Structure 1
Amino acid sequence: MKPDEIDALTALWKETGMSSSLIATLELGKRISRLHLLFEQAVKAELAELGLTYAEFDVLMALRRAAPPHRMKPSELSKGLLLTSGGISNVLQRLTAAGYVEREANQGDARSRWVQLTDKGRRVAEAGLEASSRAYTEVTAGIPEETVRRAADALREVLAPMSRRRYR
């Protein structure tokens, strides 16, 4: 197996006397971060061709996934996408101006509004999903499907116990 940029760090960590278990944990974190960056850069490049930011795409996808009638409150979007209320407000303003989402009064709560995709927004969401799929396919090109599957399964096994923990 060809060494990667993380292997250079590993050699330095070994020189400092770090334990093998800590080194393995650091390698895992660094490689996950590197994978995330590669996927994110590829997706952002594809989305830019559609005139979408990553945050806008996330909102469109969240609305697309929402249970019928496919609408959500801004607070639900904010919480689910880990965006601040100001951040979600800015994204929703841009998506509304582009004609991708519309807001309507929430009959059950006069203080909040519903956000839902327009027909144009559904079409752009589908185009964004195709663009995202192309990006992921491009990043993993040349890697056997079995290798990707094993990595995904191994990461699930690592992530499951971590997901139960709460950090401040």
Structure 2
Amino acid sequence: MAAWRTELPDVLGPTSELTKRILLLARRLDAATREVLPELGLTVAALDVLAALRRSGEPYRMRSNELTQALMLSTGGTSNVINRLAADGLVAREPDPQDGRSTLVRLTPEGVKAAENAVRANTAAHSAVFAGLSPEVIAAATHALRAVPVVGDARQ
């Protein structure tokens, strides 16, 4: 950042360093996730679907279009991920009793276990990224970033 301050002092504003740090952190967290997924036999998209279904609460099911919206995937992308997870026995499709045109996707018992294992492994990988930071620094950073709106945030 110091070099840019010298080269383009009129371009860099107060958010430049924050932006760069967030991007670098996002890359590190993404890399940490991608390191644990192969041993779980999952892709990032599969992890996202399993985690969304698991955090939805019992009976761990959602409409396909809700998954598409929640995960910001295309309809085709969501369908492909669900097909792979269904072939692996981790999810099942069932008719929506409230809307005959919709399909519900639910975790199977194996899917619940896989989702929990994946979330635990991913959380551990992410925690390792922050291992050198004190709980106070983590809490302060978390608090400060809550003010920054993100896609899908309720504040939008």
TM-score by length of 2: 0.90
Please tell me the residue identity of whatever aligns with 2:20: K
Unmatched segments (≥5 aa) in structure 2: none
How many Å separate the matches in 1 of 2:123 and 2:21? 21
Q: Which residue of 1 aligns with 2:10?
A: 18
Greater C-alpha radius of gyration: 1
The answer to whether the Cα contact below 8 Å between 1:13 and 1:23 also exists between their aligned partners in 2 is no
Equivalent position to 1:143, from 123, 133, 140: 133
Q: List structure 1 runs of 4+ shifted beyond 4 angstroms.
A: 160-165
How many Å separate the matches in 1 of 2:86 and 2:72? 20
State the shift of 1:139 in Å.
Answer: 0.7
The 1:23/1:59 distance shift into structure 2, 3 A limit, reads same
How many Å separate the matches in 2 of 1:160 and 1:55? 23
State the SS of the aligned residue for 1:116: strand
Please tell me the residue identity of whatever aligns with 2:93: R
Q: Given the alignment of the two structures, is residue 123 of structure 1 paired with residue 146 of structure 2, yes or no?
A: no
Deviations 1:134-157 (A, max 9, x none): 101211112112111111111113
Q: Given the alignment of the two structures, is residue 70 of structure 1 paired with residue 91 of structure 2, yes or no?
A: no
Q: Which has the higher helix share?
A: 1
Say how many residue pairs are matched.
154
State the shift of 1:28 in Å.
Answer: 1.2
State the SS of the aligned residue for 2:14: helix
Q: Which residue of 2 aligns with 1:90?
A: 80
Percent identical pairs in the alignment equals: 42
State the SS of the aligned residue for 1:99: coil
How many Å separate the matches in 1 of 2:65 and 2:47? 17
How many Å separate the matches in 2 of 1:98 and 1:161? 33
- After superposition, the CA RMSD in angstroms is 2.0
TM-score by length of 1: 0.84
